[in-house]
Amino acid sequence: MPAHFDLLKTDPATAARRGRLRTRHGVIETPVFMPVGTQGTVKAVTPAHLREMGAQIILGNTYHLNLRPGSELVRDLGGLHRFMGWDGPILTDSGGFQVFSLAKLRDIRDDGVAFQSHLDGAKHFLGPREVMQIQQNLGSDIAMVLDECPPWPCERDAVARAVTRSHRWAERCKQIATDSGFLAAGHHVFAIVQGSTFEDLRRDAATALAALDFPGYAVGGVSVGEPEPEMLKQVGATTPFMPADKPRYTMGLGTPPQLLKMIALGVDMFDCVLPTRVARNGLVFTPDGPMNLRNEQYRADPRPIVEGLDNYTCRTFSRAYLRHLTMAGEMLSGTLLTIHNLHFFLDLMAQARAHIEAGDYATWHRQWIERYEAGAAARLAS
């Protein structure tokens, strides 16, 4: 199988990496942020919006799409790309995290997880075979293995059992993907490293999974309630044991400063619901920290959210108008603020790629974070 990931440049003063990942639906320049389209849609925006703002890849979710509308229906209608009108790459989460966080009742077994739907209480089962079949039905460009995500805090013995079980499931997922022709057809399968806050368990898990030669690897089980320093510590404890010639993905986070800090730790791919979720409540991101447009100080502010940022929202509308829409509860507010927030994250990744290429990522990212955090503190104090 030809190489699918090129490591183009490594920052001389950090572990930041500039890479290129090839998929069935296009090439992805890394580091990359993936807008989250859990149920076949990135909330409040269309595929045309996503393309205009420069999204390279989006994320869907196995758990949600299999419960509603069903992966067989999506398959019969041409796969998830055609179903949602998105012709770029799609990564699908295996659904393991949703089972552990959303299911009303669940029974973790060696062959998978039996659970009740959070929608209607119906009984379901997800094991490696089911997870891989669902993602094959969806036509995922990047499929994630089934894993067990321990909560935080968690006893070491329970974490060790979860790591062992996740490894067995990963082996099984890769074998199924091989036997079914999924991998040979150019789809990718990423393994997930668990271990909670136990660095030796993360090291052992990453080393064992690396030996299985997956197309990519993810840091799982972070941002599940632990403090940010602990989260960053565990990311930093995991990435050195991931293969250098494969993409590295940290799942489900984070804030703009967190993304830049994790890039410096050697992470290539990210997803997070944060920019879309807070947009629906009037919060937008700027280089000087988050801005709450509900605040009275923006009622007559004629400026764009960010001067010079080239997205439809900033090119067209004032803070005053956007505040008006937000306060009036207009649906357009969610769309316009989501366009801005997603573009802000995507543009930040483009800047990161440029500075890794220039060799000054270490200095640039520290200065960027300092400005952002100082601005956030000033807004909080005002």
Per-residue pLDDT of the chain (382 residues; tens, 9 = 90+): 468 999 999 999 999 999 999 999 999 999 999 999 999 999 999 999 999 999 999 999 999 999 999 999 999 999 999 999 999 999 999 887 887 787 668 888 999 999 888 899 999 999 999 999 999 999 999 999 999 998 899 999 999 999 999 999 999 999 999 999 999 999 999 999 999 999 999 999 999 999 999 999 999 999 888 999 999 999 999 999 999 999 999 999 999 999 999 999 999 999 999 999 999 999 999 999 999 999 999 999 999 999 999 999 999 999 999 999 999 999 999 999 999 999 999 999 999 999 999 999 999 999 999 999 999 999 998 8
Q: Which of 345, 343, 338, 307 has the alpha carbon at shortest distance from 322? A: 338
Instruction: For residue 322, give the amino acid letter.
Output: L
- Residue reference for tokens 């062959």: 111
- Kindly write down the DSSP assignment for every residue of 266-293, as one continuous string: T--EEE-SHHHHHHTTTEE--TT--EET
pLDDT of residue 382: 80
Question: Quick one: tokens of 77?
Answer: 């209608």
Which region, left, alpha or beta, applies to residue 89 given φ > 0 means left and ψ of -120 to 50 means alpha? beta
pTM of the predicted model over 0.85? yes
Query: Of residues 147, 204, 268, 271, which has the active-site annotation?
Result: 271
271 catalytically annotated = yes
Note if 93 is an active site residue.
yes
Asked if residues 270 and 44 have their Cβ atoms less than 8 Å apart, the reply is no
What is the topology classification, in CATH, of domain 5-272? TIM Barrel (3.20.20)
The pLDDT of residue 103: 65
Q: CA nearest 208: which of 253, 169, 177, 247? A: 169
Burial class, 380, CB count within 10 angstroms (exposed 0-12 / middle 13-18 / buried 19+): exposed
Catalytic residue among 93, 141, 147, 268: 93
Query: Do strands 269-271 and 112-116 pair parallel, antiparallel, or not at all (unpaired)?
Result: unpaired
Q: What are phi and psi of 7, to 5 degrees?
A: -90, 105
Own/partner long-range contacts of 356-359 (Cβ < 8 Å, ≥24 apart):
356/9, 356/10, 356/11, 356/16, 356/17, 356/18, 356/31, 356/263, 357/8, 357/9, 357/18, 359/9, 359/11, 359/12
Q: In terms of Cα–Cα distance, which of 76, 63, 69 is closest to 137?
A: 76
d(CA 39, CA 276): 14
Q: What's the pLDDT at 313? A: 98
In a 13 Å sphere around the CA of 53, the CA atoms on its Cβ side amount to 34
Could you tell me which of 113, 111, 115 has the C-alpha nearest to residue 102? 115
- The closest of 167, 185, 193 to 246, measured between CA atoms, is 193
As a whole number of angstroms, the distance between CA 24 and CA 40 comes to 19
Whole-angstrom distance, CA of residue 32 vs CA of residue 89: 12
Instruction: Report the 10 Å Cβ neighbour count for 219.
Output: 30
Nearest to 319 by CA among 41, 251, 309, 23: 309
What is the location of CATH 3.20.20.105 in the chain? Answer: 5-272
C-beta atoms surrounding 240 within 10 Å: 12
